[in-house]
Structure 1
């Protein structure tokens, strides 16, 4: 059973969450976690001005995803930073290229899930995931979130991401905060949960 993790990460926060998602997937017998990045759309000069080149280089070992790979997966877990309460432009451009898959109904019945990051605690984590779900529903995905069985999202002793819609992390205004142990636990739980449901649907 192949679970595809398709993500975009500017400074490495979403990448770190994706690694945790993959760890969770591997806890389910027979589940293979396959990590892929969506293509970058920003010129290197812009990434350099943003201070993102080093982080991009650290992710360079992760292959770029092709649209056709989505059809070969049993489930797809998408990871995106939030941009004004929506997915980032790189992810939007990638999904906009999936019209051929939509026409074929190639993704109908597959499990789909989303995780995200934002600069601030209330910077659009929930709206990013919920608005992402619209694209997944148009493709016929069976949407899976992060149930309250993961009780880490109930914590009030620390600032943390995570909601019933999916795992998330708070990056800070300058990207200075990396995912916390609780946020990484949420990502692992989501990966395992998606793989478990995909396994049941495949049976």
Structure 2
């Protein structure tokens, strides 16, 4: 089972989250994560279409997704939306911003609507919000994994709790995708 993690990262913080999501995916037996950084330029549309699930990630800039992720969304119209190449695939999302809240929910709503337009099945975070900065889902997102990064290099931020929440999301998506795969067998 292959799960693509399509993401943009301006300063390395969202890429660090994508790597944590991938680690979570690979905790599930038979699941393999493929990172698809949009900064690499070309997108392997066929490989994404062949995935069992797709997890989208973007930094939150000025209350919404990055311009590069928006371009990916627009480019997907001819490649994936018209042929409905992602229909019935499991989807999820994650985001990161400098502010603790920073309108990250708007980014996740944007990613969820994008997935819905492609006929995908959205998977959120099923964790009650943490009560401290050390607990999973400390920011309290239900729609996807949210992270906050200080104005510091990606080597030191986002913090452990946010990275663990991202890994949890990856594992959850892999488990849900595996349930669907068993149903098709």
The bucket for the TM-score relative to the shorter chain is: 0.7 to 0.9
- Residue 158 of structure 1 and its aligned partner are, at CA, apart by 6.2
* Length, aligned pairs only: 177
Counterpart CA distance in 1 for 2:102 and 2:172 is 25
Q: Which of residues 190, 195, 198 is equivalent to 2:169?
A: 190
Alignment of 1:1-150 (within 5 A): 1-39=1-39, 65-100=43-78, 101-148=80-127
TM-score normalised to structure 2 length: 0.88
**Residue 180 of structure 1 pairs with residue 159 of structure 2:** yes
CA distance in 1, matches of 2:172, 2:134: 24
CA distance in 2, matches of 1:155, 1:166: 18
Look at both structures and tell me which one has the larger radius of gyration over its CA atoms. Answer: 1
- Show structure 2 runs of 5+ residues with no match: none
Per-residue CA distance 1:30-53 (angstroms, 9 max, x = gap): 000111111468xxxxxxxxxxxx
For 1:65 and 1:89, locate their aligned partners in 2 and report how far apart those are by CA, in whole Å: 16
Ranges of 4+ aligned residues in structure 1 off by more than 6 Å: none
Q: Which structure 1 residue ranges, 5 or more long, are not aligned?
A: 42-63
Aligned Cα RMSD in Å?
1.9
Task: Please tell me whether residue 202 in structure 1 is matched to residue 178 in structure 2.
Answer: no
**Which residue of the partner structure matches residue 155 of structure 1?**
131
